[in-house]
A and B are shown apart, each in its own frame.
Chain A
Amino acid sequence: MTMTAPAPTPARPRLRQVRAPRARLAGIALRTPYWVLTGALAIVFIFPLVWAGVASVAPQPGSSQVDGWGFGNYVTLMEYQAGLPRYLLNSTLVSGLTVLFTLTASVLGGYAFSRFRFPGRDVLFLLTLAILMVPYATLLIPLYVMLNAVGLQNTLVGLSLVLTVFQLPFATFMMRISFDAVPRELDEAALVDGCSSFRALRTVLLPAVKPGVITVGLFAFLAAWNDFVAPLILISDSDKIPLPLAVANLRAQVMGIVDYGATEAGVVVMALPCVVLFLLLQRHYVRGFMSGALKG
């Protein structure tokens, strides 16, 4: 895996304050195409999301919002089967557990891979990355069998464990390079001071890899929040299903009709927390990517 950093080059985030004087001289005339181009680009990327929001409250035949603007589709979603609050709770639980499991495994694992030498280390690391290479769809039946074997079938904990496994390649890789980027002297000093290795991890290293932790946690949350296939197979109780599955049921409730209103409202409800988190944490995960030695 040469994509790992060869040596812990210190991160070098750098502001490009020096702007070519040419550009300023070129004047507005030359900048116009740039504004048009980039403006159009921003619109292309934002438009679908805005449209979903608008369309979800717009009148639409065949949805719960037929006449005039309003929140009919959201009301339907609210009252569907076990009710939106229940699905939000399930999704929050699954996502929370997945973030917890992913962080536990990847922070400890990343620390182990970065700081310890032990037999089987490279094999385990490569195996972890290999998870990326397996078609998700085929693993589901065996996963179902595995969860049954340990009595975790039809539980949110089991579902979270499965979702965690699919987060591990990214998470472990990310945490490993984050630890790699931290100067070794830092934790060695702590160890010499008599700290246990766990204490060194907790008090010295963890603050240093915080951006990496936030990045990993965020991506685990996004993946778990949005996943549809795993709960479809693994969860059978209708009051345990997470939001994406409920929306999938709702949108095709009547044969041969897609309730686009419910679909759009569902997409909005699913997307909103993700977009908010994504924007709130933007500073952190950009730094998370930077702090890792991806550039090496």
Chain B
Amino acid sequence: MATHRRASVRLVASFLAAGLASTALAACSASDGDGGTQEAEVTAEGVDDGTELTLWTRAPLEQQANLLVEAYNASHENQVELTVVPNDDYVAKVGAAAGSDSLPDLFAADIVYVPNWVQQGLFADVTDAVAELDQADQINKGHLEGGTLDGRQHVLPFVLDVSVMFYNKDLYEQAGLDPEQGPTTLAEFSDQAKAVDELGGDVSGTYFGGNCGGCLVFTWFPQVWAGGEDVMNAEGTESLLAGDTAQEVYGVWQDLVQSGAVGEGSKEETGATWTGPFLEGEVGVMPFPATMLATADEALGEVGVAPIPGPDGGASTFVGGDGLGISKDSENADQAWNFMSWLMSEEAQVEVLAKNGDVVSRADLVENEYSTKDPRVLAVNEIAAQGRTPLAINFQQAFNAPGSPWVTMVRNEVFGEGGSVETDNEEITAVLAQ
């Protein structure tokens, strides 16, 4: 009996010890992994020796990720195994793995989260390898900057997504609008939305993710930028969203909500279905992710595309999408770099991404075999090259999180009484400045 009891005590003790040791380990690696200390042997191509690599991405990028991985696996010795994680739970998944040093070799991250994740040391330093790339200076600046900490680079653009105005040409025609002429100012946008809304039935003028911080950031920030103002200070520690242009933007949307031109469900739209109504042909015009061009064409015939304007004209876009980096835990950094390096090649950018109708991440490839076929695609690519990516360490908490102060502010201004824009803006700043 005595031995029995002692054995079980020992088992429990070793269990406990193992658990604590692993957490201690996690703590160490995280603190000295800050900024990434891993130095890969610096070559432009990395190593292609038949290693199994793991890559994580979130579900909305699955299509692009699948195509890229398939093309890479077909032409390389290394084989990438893709794991897809539901969008809303991606951070939880990465967080659990990061704490136990079990991140995959490569993983993508929403570009607005990248500055934070780089600061927490999740990505390995790839500065020297990036410098070896032939077209290093052509890679999308916004994404590169997002992954830069203290002058060291950690991520490359994986899939770019930019916001543009989409409009339904059929509905425009029915409403007596020119189907070849999208809005060039927010006032025109509002008028056109209202005109389409007049059609009645299931059709509404416009639609937006009224309860979705990420959608609002992606579609409304460009309206402020196009008006010549900023949304945050350069350090990403202070919100400027109570500015005049920003307030004009809220005014336009509030007017649209009050006049009933906004589709049913906008107010409670948490982002899960925010592009659905347009694709079903029930919405006239709305800011939209450009990656959906092919999907939208398929559903609606040719859709109209225009840059997102400010209150009095201008144009801008939010360069979103995901950045890709090598994880701090990867033991195959050179092989992983081989994938990253290939990702920047013309083969990947043009023959995989552009062919699929996606935006390329290299400025010198904007005009390519596929984009020149369709002036809209070319236009989207050109907009992307001049777009912006807002960077802040606490971006997720301030803007994207459910119930974030940004969502509160928009809802107060657009659905509510309004008038609290200054205090709501201070709330955002408070989170950003933490």
Which A residues contact B (CB, under 8 angstroms)?
Answer: 61-62, 81, 140-141, 144-146, 148-150, 153-154, 232-233, 236-238, 245, 248-249, 252-258
- The 8 A CB mask of B1-36 against A (1 = contact, 0 = none) is 000000000000001001101110010000000000
Q: Which residue of A is nearest B103, CB measured? A: A236
**Distance (whole angstroms) from the CB of A246 to the closest CB of chain B:** 9
CB-CB under 8 A for A254 and B89, given A145-B22, A149-B22, A249-B62 = no
CB-based contact B60/A145 at 8 Å:
no
A260 to chain B minimum Cβ distance, whole angstroms, is 9
Q: Does B371 contact A (CB under 8 A)?
A: no
Contact between A233 and B96, CB atoms less than 8 A apart: yes
Interface-forming stretch among B76-84, B220-228, B230-238, B387-395? B76-84
> What residues of chain A lie closer than 8 Å to B272, measured between beta carbons?
252, 256, 258
* 6 smallest beta-carbon distances between A and B, as pairs: A256-B275, A149-B18, A255-B60, A256-B274, A248-B86, A238-B83
B100:A144 contact, CB within 8 angstroms? yes
Is B252 an interface residue when CB atoms closer than 8 A count as contact? no
The dominant DSSP class at the B interface is helix
Q: Tell me whether A255 and B275 are in contact (CB under 8 A).
A: yes
Q: Which of B26, B82, B209, B275 contacts A257 (CB 8 A)?
A: B275
B86-102, CB under 8 A of A: which get 1 and which 0? 11010011011101101
**A256, B215: Cα distance in complex, Å:** 9
Known contacts A238-B81, A258-B272; decide if A232 and B19 are in contact (CB<8 Å). Answer: no
Contacts of A150 in B (CB 8 A): 15, 18
Residues of B within 8 A of A255 (CB): 60, 87, 161, 275, 289, 291-292
Which residues from A are CB-within-8-Å of B56? Answer: 236
Bound complex: CA of A256 vs CA of B290, how far in Å? 12
| A232 CA to B21 CA, complexed, in Å | 24
CA distance A169 to B152 in the complex (A): 51
Q: CB-nearest residue of chain B relative to A141? A: B96
A144 to B92, CA, bound (A): 12
Q: Do B273 and A256 touch across chains, with their CB atoms under 8 A apart?
A: yes
Contacts of A236 in B (CB 8 A): 54, 56, 83, 93, 97, 102, 104
Q: Residue of B at shortest CB range from A151?
A: B18
**A238-B82, A253-B63 known; A62+B96 contact, CB < 8 A:** no
Contacts of B291-306 to chain A: CB distance below 8 A = 291-292, 295, 299
Provide the main secondary structure of the chain A interface. loop
Tell yes or no: B59 within 8 A of A by CB.
yes
Given A144-B100, A255-B275; A238-B299 close (CB under 8 Å): no
A233, B63: Cβ atoms under 8 Å?
no
Distance from A99 Cβ to chain B, minimum over Cβ atoms (Å): 25
Q: Are A253 and B83 in contact (CB under 8 A)?
A: no
Give the chain B neighbours of A148 by CB distance below 8 A.
Answer: 22, 100, 102
Pairwise interchain contact A149-B295, C-beta atoms closer than 8 A: no
A233 and B22 in contact (CB under 8 A), knowing A62-B280, A153-B102, A254-B63?
Answer: no
Given contacts A153-B102, A254-B60, A62 and B276 within 8 Å (CB-CB):
yes
User: Which B residues lie within 8 Å of A146 (CB)?
Assistant: 15, 19
Interface centre among B96, B104, B215, B273 (most CB of A within 10 A): B96
Does A232 lie within 8 Å of B60, measured CB to CB?
A: no
- Report chain A residues within 8 Å CB of B280: 61-62
Complex: chain B residue closest to A146, CB-CB: B19
CA distance A248 to B60 in the complex (A): 11
B271 beta carbon closer than 8 Å to chain A: yes
Q: Is the CB of A145 within 8 A of B99?
A: yes
Q: Is the CB of B87 within 8 A of A238?
A: no
B40 near A: Cβ within 8 Å? no
A232 in contact with B89 given A237-B83, A238-B84, A255-B275 (CB within 8 Å): yes
Also in contact, A140 and B273, with CB within 8 A (given A149-B19, A249-B84): no
Residues of A with C-beta under 8 A to B276: 62, 256-258
A288 vs chain B, min Cβ distance (A): 31
A62-B299, A238-B84 known, 9 other contacts, Cβ within 8 Å: A141-B96, A145-B22, A145-B100, A232-B86, A253-B59, A255-B291, A256-B272, A256-B275, A256-B276
